[in-house]
Structure 1
Amino acid sequence: MKADQLNYEGDSEKDDDKDYEAGSEGKDAQFNEVPIIDEEDDEEHVEVDEELEPDQVMIAKLVKGQPFKRMVDSVIRFNIGLIFNSKEHMREIFKDYAIQEGIEFTIMKKDKVRQTYKCAINGCGWRAHASCMIDGVTFMLKTLSDQHDYHRVYNNKKTKVKWIASKFKKLVKSNPGIKVKVIGDLLRESFKVSVDIRRLYRVNNRALKELAKDHAQCFGYLRRTFIGVDGCHLKGPFGGVLLSTVFLDANSGIFSLAVCICEKETQDN
């Protein structure tokens, strides 16, 4: 793969520490360029734009990048200028990319304004660096060297139980009795990753527990049983009180459960 490097100051490996300062200066420069208008000036010399642009549109113009999107076949491809929604989103995407390409990387820098990833193998040139944009939330990929010269890692440490369960949750939901061996074969075929049998059992149990939580949440949306108790006084030669218990059926109709005729409406009755 061809290595791409961003050739401007502040984005090389030696100048990664300047991202915060450069970002702050750029942010101040944007605000310093805005002219200050005195409210006491004559109206003839003041031009006011009545249709001001929203903050998101202004930020989009200042951040000339490309939002990250997965390919149709779910393959992840990186290029300089990609924008991630947040640092958590960026870590999730890079974890999927590491498993996809069989790379084990270490996070060199992971503060609020910088994210730097490097291959864990000494001598490998794979490296990616991103810094926070002026909005303080999104991150832009500014340095990328995607040349990985070493062999593929099949037992990747990034394949945690939580990650595998998230990928096979729908499969377990549609087939709760699936065998862990089938999950292992699909994991090896789809992601080229091999894990031990104990981890696969933990993956299956975790997916089943999440499925049980979904059932519990769905139970809360069911129709709650409504039972009403009422009584009316009977007028005639015998008198008394008619007590009845009713509830709503599936067609929202009134259905009688029990009927009782007593002398008085008391607690004993």
Structure 2
Amino acid sequence: MLELGYSVPPVIYYHFRIPHEDLDFGLRVLGNDNDVLNLAQYIGDNKNPGIPLRALQEQLQKDFEVGVSIDNVFRAKAIVTKIVKGDYTKQYEFLRDYVLELQATNVDTTVKIDVYSEHNPSNPTRKFKRIYICLDPLKKGFKAGFRDLLGFDGAHMKRPFPGQVLTTVGLDSNNDIYPLLMSLLRQRTKVVGYGSWSV
């Protein structure tokens, strides 16, 4: 339980009958760490992870014919949600590898990552602030078929990491939208310096 990030409460044993099993071997104990993990697997395999907690609790009580606390349902659902949606902080760890791969495959691609300064310089981890990407083929194509029209667009991201996705697009010779650069910011900014959007 400690490895899941929860304090260890006193163990409460609940005996329940497993459906379609004889009572001689169908009694099990519910309430320990493995049961929460088993509930998580059951939710992930058979249920919609977006189901409300109370509805999920009722469904589990109906399927297992035993009382399941809302706390155990919440813990099991949190495990399933983390598995289904992924761990966002772990995905940010792959960002540097993504940048290195971009620069290895497209030599003149411009990628800039900005991180928050760390109070302890010996700490190897940094907190993501923003990233700017301008792919080399898009940059060369824009310069070759230059049009005097650029469009800026932005979208706000919500939980768990709010921020903005900003894009710059141009028009190609067929009047089609031509993506030029992308930027991801962890926080909303009121003013964007146009000098930082150079191609």
Indicate the TM-score class for this superposition, using the shorter chain for normalisation.
0.3 to 0.5
Larger Rg: 1
Q: Which has the higher contact order (CA 8 A, sep 6+)?
A: 1
